[in-house]
Structure formats: C-alpha cells, structure tokens
C-alpha cells in the first residue's frame, strides 16, 4: 500500500478498517492515494473474510479534505471531457456492495463527500465539521453537491454548497438533520463505527449485500442523471486554475461560522 492508505482487517469479526493516512496534509487525497483507494475496494470484492468496512482518517484534525491541491491533474481542452481523479475513490464506483461505515472526526470537506456519499452511514465525534469550499475558490460544486443532496435535506445541502468556507455544519447539526447517524464524545467515532460494523458483519453476507444494493438502487437513477451533468457544469463554471490558486492563497483560515 502507499504511504497514504493504511488497511487492517480482523478475521474474527470480518471488519476491515481503511484509514486515510496523510494527517500532515489533512488526509487530502493525492493521485497515488486515489489509485490505492480504488484498488482497495476492488480487492475487498474478492476477500470473503471482509464482510464490513470502516473508513476513517488518521489524526485528530481531519477525516479528509478532498483532492490534494498539489496534485497535478492535466485536463483536456474540450469542455466535453473532464478528468476527475476522485470519481473512482468510492466503494460503489468500484462495484463493492459490502457495507461501508464512515468514522469522522475533525474536518470533512470538498472531495471527502465522494467517500461519505458512498458510505452506508456516518458516525462522527463531537469535533467533526462539514463544509464545501468550492464556491469560495471559484469552482462549481457538482459531484459533491449531488452526493449531499441525496444524503441531506435539500436546503441543508444547498446552504453548505453555496456558503463555501464561510460556514461549517457542526457534528451536532449534522446529527440533527440525519446526515450523521451517531454522535460520540471526542475520539469515540472509530470505536462506535467498528462496533456497528461488527454487528453487520455477523449477519449472513448475502442478505447484507443485497440490502446495500437495494438501498443504493432507491436513488441510483436520479443520482446517475444528476452526476451526468457535472462535467459540463464544471467546465462552464470553474475559474481558470491560476485564479482558483490566487483565491486559495488569499484564504482566511478562521472567521467561519459553525452552526
């Protein structure tokens, strides 16, 4: 595995823990880690000893802060083509239908929603916060907004996407709106998520995986149609990369509201 991903599995319980292990970069996903995530999910498809997965981030500051801004992602000049390295980092994108539970502490923002959007449910500790910085930096929140519109009430997803870095959703608020299913004291998220995963992993896997597939199917058609619009919207609405970089360089690191 790369330096950006750590995987452990308990053969007795059938639970694997996948940890984004780049705490010095707030667990931002670089290109190597994106490839490792995709490979990890694909490998789990063939490993019958893994029956449930917990996804978490190393350190206390962040679960994941999306794509590492130092990642060099060349883009075609055509507005009809878009290379997004995060499109394949989630379990569903890799045809894995074993349950994935996210354990969140600290920040979860931007591209983190590719992962949270493809998890069955989210456990968070009281330090967790959620926000989407795209609009602040002159970018369209397309994939992230679609995922969250299917996991939050529309008004909450819209507010988060449109307010950018000016506002963060607290773990408490995320729990109140149903995005987070369990709220724990600081540092308790991973233990709680593993406990849930162990219960699920103890059930016959065929029934569990069929249920995961059925739950995803409930909104899959609408999600697929919405995601199909994303590349054109991004091509039309994103500022040039150099202007995005200027806005990012001038960002304020505090002054945001937590609600």
d(CA 15, CA 197) in angstroms, rounded, equals 6
Q: What is the pLDDT of residues 45-54, one digit of tens each?
A: 999 999 999 9
d(CA 222, CA 166): 29
CB atoms within 10 A of CB 29: 29
pLDDT at 109 over 80: yes
Half-sphere CA count of 14, side-chain side, radius 13 A: 18
Mean pLDDT of 93-101: 98
The pLDDT, as a whole number, for residue 77 is 79
> In this predicted structure, what is the pLDDT of residue 1?
44
Ramachandran area for residue 244 (φ above 0: left; ψ -120 to 50: alpha; else beta): alpha
pTM, rounded to two decimals: 0.94
Do 153 and 219 meet the contact criterion of CB atoms below 8 Å apart?
Answer: no
- Whether 165 contacts 136, CB under 8 Å: yes
Residue 215 scores a pLDDT above 80: yes
Predicted confidence band at 2 (pLDDT cuts at 50, 70, 90)? low
CATH of span 5-189+202-206+227-254: 3.90.226.10
Q: Which two tokens stand for residue 186?
A: 């600081």
Domain layout of the chain by residue ranges:
5-189+202-206+227-254
- Mean pLDDT rounded to a whole number for the chain: 94
Which whole-number Å values give the CA distances from 53 to 44, 47, 224, in the listed order?
Answer: 9, 12, 24
């Amino acid at each position: 595995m790369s330096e950006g991903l750590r995987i452990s599995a308990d053969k007795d319980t059938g639970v694997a823990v996948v940890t984004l292990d780049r705490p010095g970069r707030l667990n931002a996903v670089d290109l190597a880690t994106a490839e490792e995530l995709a490979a990890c999910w694909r490998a789990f498809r063939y490993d019958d000893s893994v029956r449930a997965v917990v996804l978490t981030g190393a350190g206390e500051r962040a679960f994941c802060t999306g794509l590492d801004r130092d990642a060099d992602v060349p883009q075609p000049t055509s507005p009809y083509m878009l290379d997004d390295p995060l499109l394949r980092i989630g379990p569903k994108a890799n045809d894995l239908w074993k349950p994935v539970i996210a354990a969140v502490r600290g920040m979860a923002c931007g591209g983190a929603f590719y992962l949270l959007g493809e998890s069955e449910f989210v456990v968070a500790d009281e330090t967790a916060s959620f926000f989407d910085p795209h609009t602040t930096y002159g970018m369209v929140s397309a994939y992230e907004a679609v995922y969250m519109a299917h996991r939050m009430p529309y008004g909450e997803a819209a507010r988060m996407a449109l307010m950018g870095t000016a506002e963060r959703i607290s773990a408490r608020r995320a729990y109140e709106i149903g995005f987070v299913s369990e709220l724990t004291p600081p540092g308790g998220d991973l233990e709680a998520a593993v406990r849930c995963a162990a219960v699920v992993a103890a059930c016959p896997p065929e029934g569990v995986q069929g249920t995961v597939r059925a739950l995803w199917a409930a909104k899959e058609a609408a999600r697929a149609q919405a995601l199909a619009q994303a590349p054109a919207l991004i091509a039309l609405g994103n500022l040039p990369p150099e202007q995005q970089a200027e806005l990012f360089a001038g960002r304020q690191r505090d002054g945001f509201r937590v609600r």
